[in-house]
Structure 1
């Protein structure tokens, strides 16, 4: 069973950026009911720390040095049964929220929000509820109930162009030439497409797009 820190909700913070981690730790420790009992810098560290500390909630950064935090949700829950996982990310889409829900996560909070939202999210998931930033819950619910979210609705015209070129099997260099933009700009367009489709690779993005009818 997950442990509490006295009467407080125990939290394992998985975040590799020192400033972000310290801000979160200070905010949590100033409350009456939340306490950060450990911090991990990577997925592998988090698995070992979760098994040792058995926190009530893991606050998990999505982008970690050794992998995607969403992929770590299942292993974390296996390492510490009963622990709830709340993903923290710089940006996300309903499709990404659906991935979190499918993986067994209890919520997805955006870093652009305020710390109060994160604190409330921890309390909610510790109580057995879910916590998704505004605009993301629908995607998770759609996937959990078997409905397909309109993942293409958030793509800009340029991102749709990029997706079409990905569907032709082109890489960033070829996409930059076709769009008349710098390679780094093309890479940014590709990354945005992957984020919005909840995909981990260009191949998966194309597969999702075809499944959703965004590509022929």
Structure 2
């Protein structure tokens, strides 16, 4: 059933009692219930709402402002990939993790191009989904095995020459992104606070014209900014 209306938290309060807040968008009741139970039984994750379709998801995301939207690929009123950009516009700062039964490297590239943070196969286990939610909530990406490399390959060459305005610190940040590190580890490597590291990452994305860390790395490799 659709999530119960509640007051929308601001961008700084997308955790409930220290737990990562999740909006689950899934129209099949049994699948949704299994996912909800699995996520809610962890100490650091909580499902704050469930939507049955894209239309409801847009309204629920704007109201609930979850840290992560776990989004089914096929919904009654639309395709999940096409819903990524509208969801991010409805709830700025929210990250989108797509679920699908038949993912391919091409699909993974489309998810990254649309601004999604990951693609998890339904054939995987619930532990992979939990870890994926944690990764994208921390600003990283999460793709099922075999999809990440293919997505990078397909994204290379997708944009024009960029990157000439990166500062030395931003180039250092980009190098760490290329090593597969997330914002938390980048902060530790650079000796800066997590929010500062996230700001560095965001500026890198903006200067490269990328909508995700995955796309930024692909662009940087194409431009010769990364090996």
Q: Which interval holds the TM-score relative to the shorter structure?
A: 0.5 to 0.7
| Equivalent position of 2:6 in the other structure | none
**Distance in 1, Cα, partners of 2:108 & 2:119:** 6
| Equivalent position of 1:21 in the other structure | 32
Q: Deviations over 1:107-154 (max 9, x none)?
A: 00000000000000000000000000001001221233327xxxxxxx
CA RMSD of aligned residues (A): 1.0
SS of equivalent residue, structure 1 residue 108: strand
Match of 1:143 among 154, 167, 190: 154
Deviation for aligned residue 1:32: 0.2
Q: Which has the higher helix share?
A: 1
Higher CA-based Rg: 1
- Structure 1 stretches of 4+ with a deviation exceeding 4 A read none
Q: Deviations over 1:67-123 (max 9, x none)?
A: 000000000000000000000001111000000000000000000000000000000
SS of equivalent residue, structure 1 residue 46: helix
Any gaps of 5 or more consecutive residues in structure 2? 1-10, 159-227
Any gaps of 5 or more consecutive residues in structure 1? 148-216
| Equivalent position of 2:135 in the other structure | 124
The 5 Å alignment of 1:31-180 reads 31-146=42-157
Q: Deviations over 1:139-184 (max 9, x none)?
A: 221233327xxxxxxxxxxxxxxxxxxxxxxxxxxxxxxxxxxxxx
Contact 1:102–1:143, Cα closer than 8 Å, also in 2: no
Q: Deviations over 1:16-38 (max 9, x none)?
A: 00010000000011000000000
Give TM-score, length-normalised by structure 2. 0.63
Contact 1:24–1:115, Cα closer than 8 Å, also in 2: yes
